[in-house]
Amino acid sequence: MSFSRPLRPCTLGVGIGCMQQVLGWRCARKAAANLSRPAFGATRQAASVSLPIIDIAAYMDPLGRINRADRRRSAQDLDEACQATGFFYLVGHGVPEAEVRALHSAAQSFFTLPRGMKDAVAISEAPEGGRGYQRLGENVTQGKRDWHEALDFYAEPAEGSVDLSLLTRSPGQCQTDAIERMRPFVYGQNQWPSEPAGFREIAESHFARMATIGSALMEAMTDALQLPTGSLQPLTARSFWNARIIGYPPLPDPHLVAEIELGLSCGEHTDYGCWTILSQDETPGALEAQRADGSWAKVEPMPGAFVVNLGDMLSVWTGGRYAATPHQVRQTVQGRFRTSVAYFHEPNFDATISCLPVAAPPQQGYAHARQLRLQRLREAGTITPALRRALGSCESDNGALIYGEHLFEKVDSNFAFVAKSEA
């Protein structure tokens, strides 16, 4: 995302206009509108990859009742899942399936709107804010276009509530001009589409529920790591959350991919912050998580469950005890248009994230596994300088970064804005 030059030619060698000519854009968009829309909640086989199932109900009691035995079990299960896979299914969250189904239906309705209606809330209309609609191919991962379209939303902190001056000091030491480029991003306003009717109300209700789940996960992690109760709460109380509502048409023919510098539906990456809480529709075989040996495993939808994966900040906080797992999306099912809704529960924008005094678990081989996790993150193609610095210092348990510095570096490299004349 280029905040200093809001509209710029795409630097990937092939503009959106050329890509449209290669693929026959108008025909492709008409075809996408006619793709079958999978029914959310339909019966299907169990997930094809074995992931832990975490029941968070003990941390979600609306009356505030605490069953300490249930919490201990949930926290222990969470700790094991975060060390073993960094991906798990979450149940016991209390979100009615009808509400999730309504959100996916609204997403499908939005993505089938005429392009002009979607462009009314395009990020390119207010690029410094980083919020709004992205067309196919405008998201970039590791230098290649991603084959999806999306709506991006962020927290909307009150003016002056984020201490950007912290980023000019250690460990961030950002330059003043960088801080000024961050300001409109931090204090930007979300762009809401006027159609379909009720979209904003449905989405905001879902995001509020996800914030509650994210807080519950933070509380469970605090217990899992045997940290003082509430010790992480000040760092996430003003969460600079992000949400993406994403539409995935099938990938085009392979022989066209290289010609338009296209990658996958979403290229390999780790997520920025703490927890990603993902709702998938019923399209099979799209989300892939990387195993420790570098191979990829399908993460299939599970009715009634969210998929949760760890973000980069948990790697820093735990000094590698937990690690963000690389993942990607490869939507190849012809005749289907996949939707997903990802909610990213993040620290405060101005939170200093440093290695916590986390005791090493007793199992054999932990130290070696921790080193492998840290090494894999350091070698990732999407690592930011801030994260590399913090992970490098984790060996001596004093790694630190300011979350906003890491986030801004990530966002600045992941989005391509293209002048309207090319569209």
Q: What is the pLDDT of residues 21-56, one digit of tens each?
A: 333 333 333 333 444 444 433 333 323 568 999 999
Which helix H or strand E contains 336, and what residues bound it?
none
Place of tokens 């230098």: 143
Closest CA to 137 of 267, 242, 30: 267
pLDDT recorded at residue 418 = 36
User: How does DSSP classify residue 129?
Assistant: G
- More confident: 423 or 236: 236
Average confidence (pLDDT) over 108-113 = 98
Q: Is the peptide bond before 171 cis (omega within 30 degrees of 0)?
A: yes
> pLDDT grade, residue 366 (50/70/90)?
low
Instruction: Return the pLDDT at 209.
Output: 98
Average pLDDT for 119-148: 89
Residues 145, 49, 342, 332, CA torsion sign: positive
Separation between Cα atoms, residue 326 and residue 309, nearest integer Å: 9
pLDDT at 22: 34
DSSP E strand boundaries for 93-248 = 132-134, 140-141, 144-145, 149-154, 242-248
8 Å CB contact between 324 and 72: no
Give me the pLDDT at residue 319, please: 83
| pLDDT category of residue 6 using cuts at 50, 70 and 90 | very low
pLDDT at 145: 86
Residue 267: what pLDDT? 83
Predicted confidence (pLDDT) at residue 15 exceeds the cutoff of 80: no
Given a cut of 50, is residue 237 above it in pLDDT?
yes
Helices 366-378/385-393 angle, 10° precision: 160
Instruction: Tell me what pLDDT residue 341 has.
Output: 98
User: Please, what is the Cα angle at 133 between 29 and 123, to 5 degrees?
Assistant: 130
Q: Which of 60, 41, 51 shows the shortest CA–CA distance to 211?
A: 60
Q: Is the peptide bond before 196 cis (omega within 30 degrees of 0)?
A: yes
Distance CA 132, CA 151 (A): 5
pLDDT exceeds 90 at position 238: yes
Give the pLDDT band (50/70/90) at residue 141.
confident
DSSP structure class, residue 267: E
List of residues 6+ apart from 194 with CB closer than 8 A:
117, 120
CA distance 13 to 28: 21
Q: Whole-number mean pLDDT of the chain?
A: 81
Tokens representing residue 417 in the block = 């804005």
Residue 322: other Cβ atoms inside 10 A: 26
Q: Does residue 294 have a pLDDT over 50? A: yes
Residue with tokens 């529920």: 209
Q: Tell me which of 4-18, 91-105, 304-318 is least confident.
A: 4-18
Q: What is the pLDDT of residue 14?
A: 34
CA gap 269, 313 in Å, rounded: 14
Is the predicted pLDDT of residue 240 greater than 60, yes or no?
A: yes
Full set of structural domains in the chain with CATH? 16-422 (2.60.120.330)
Question: Among 126-130, 205-209, 379-383, which stretch is predicted with the lowest mean pLDDT?
Answer: 379-383
| 406 pLDDT above the threshold of 50 | yes
